[in-house]
């Protein structure tokens, strides 16, 4: 009886906590370019990339965790980033591919930058995070129609849902910027290289902002709490099956 109960508790804990949606939004795409790796020096950019993947997915899980780089922007399609994330099952399309929610759900995380999204794709991203997916967004690309304002407007349709916001003007940040933060995405990272992005702000308590020494937002993060995460149907079925098994077990005990 005790073992059965523990199995059910484990199933319910998995239902509550294993599908916490996460977001990282970086004000600029340069940190994860090959030039960003070189300019930041040491293992700074590689560690940031690996911390980001860990935050978004929970870890490589023996290489089975799937990450999709859906962008041809220089901030995501260069070799140093691929090498840093080699422990993951990485799919790099080399260009932007349109997607629906069902496409995203094949991956534990998706990395995006400079992508011109439709309203339907923005909605798919929202539902993906609410279902437990991880999303990395690099802003400041200059690749989206309307410049800084256009880039902010597009991403804010998604980010505002999770208390994150991009400024509508480019910030002029340039060079290596020291990273003094307790955020897990910067653990072991002393500096990152930037070159003119969209400052990240928060619009509510669910998000956290990593700032420079002057208080300007460099990186924003969001992580849903287990109580607000909607579990996938397969996990709900697991818990329901376990509970049904307990009921059957009790019935047999009464008859014996």
Same domain, 117 and 129: yes
* CA 12 – CA 17 distance, rounded (Å): 9
- Cα pseudo-dihedral 226, 231, 234, 236, rounded to 10: 80
So what's the pLDDT on residue 226? Answer: 60
Q: Report how far apart, in Å, the C-alpha atoms of 121 and of each of 41, 102, 115, 143, 222 are.
A: 36, 11, 10, 17, 19
Neighbours of 127 (CB within 10 A): 16
So what's the pLDDT on residue 243? Answer: 41
Structure-token pair, residue 220: 């924003």
Same domain, 173 and 247: no
**Count: domains in the chain:** 2
CATH number of the domain enclosing 52: 3.40.50
Closest CA to 49 of 72, 32, 26: 32
Looking only at the bridges linking them, the beta strands covering 217-223 and 207-211 are: antiparallel
Same domain, 176 and 221: yes
So what's the pLDDT on residue 4? Answer: 31
* CA 89 – CA 11 distance, rounded (Å): 26
User: pLDDT (tens digit, 9 = 90+) per residue, 148-198?
Assistant: 999 999 999 999 999 999 999 999 999 999 987 899 999 999 999 999 999
Q: Which segments in the chain show pLDDT lower than 70?
A: 1-19, 226-256
What distance separates the 2 farthest-apart alpha carbons in the chain? 76
How long a stretch of residues is the chain?
256
Burial class (CB in 10 A: 0-12, 13-18, 19+), 91: middle
Same domain, 85 and 132: yes
Output the pTM of the full model: 0.82
* CA 218 – CA 186 distance, rounded (Å): 12
Same domain, 252 and 181: no
Using an 8 Å Cβ cutoff, are 140 and 198 in contact? yes
Q: By residue range, what is the domain housing residue 30?
A: 20-230
So what's the pLDDT on residue 19? Answer: 59
- Cα pseudo-dihedral 9, 11, 16, 18, rounded to 10: 130
Same domain, 3 and 44: no
Same domain, 55 and 142: yes
140-167: burial string, b at 16+ Cβ within 10 Å, e else: bbebbeeebbebbebbbbbbebbbbbbb
Same domain, 167 and 212: yes
* CA 119 – CA 148 distance, rounded (Å): 19
So what's the pLDDT on residue 225? Answer: 79
Same domain, 124 and 10: no
């Amino acid at each position: 009886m005790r073992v059965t109960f523990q199995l059910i508790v484990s199933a319910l804990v998995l239902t509550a906590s294993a599908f916490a949606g996460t977001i990282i939004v970086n004000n600029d795409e340069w940190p994860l370019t090959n030039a960003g790796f070189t300019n930041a020096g040491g293992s700074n950019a590689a560690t940031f990339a690996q911390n980001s993947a860990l935050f978004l997915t929970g870890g490589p899980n023996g290489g089975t965790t799937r990450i999709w780089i859906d962008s041809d922007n220089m901030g995501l399609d260069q070799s140093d980033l691929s090498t840093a994330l080699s422990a993951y099952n990485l799919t790099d399309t080399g260009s932007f591919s349109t997607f629906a929610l069902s496409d995203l759900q094949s991956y534990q995380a998706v990395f995006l930058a400079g992508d011109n999204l439709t309203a339907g794709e923005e909605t798919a991203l929202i539902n993906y995070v609410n279902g437990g997916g991880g999303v990395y967004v690099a802003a400041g690309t200059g690749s989206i129609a309307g410049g800084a304002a256009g880039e902010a407007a597009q991403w804010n349709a998604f980010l505002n849902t999770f208390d994150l916001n991009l400024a509508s003007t480019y910030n002029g940040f340039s060079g290596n910027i020291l990273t003094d933060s307790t955020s897990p995405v910067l653990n072991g990272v002393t500096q990152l290289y930037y070159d003119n992005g969209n400052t990240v702000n928060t619009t509510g308590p669910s998000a956290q902002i990593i700032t420079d020494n002057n208080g300007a937002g460099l990186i924003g993060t969001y992580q849903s709490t287990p109580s607000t995460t909607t579990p996938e149907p397969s996990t709900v079925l697991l818990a329901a099956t376990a509970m049904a098994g307990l009921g059957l077990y009790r019935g047999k005990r009464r008859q014996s």
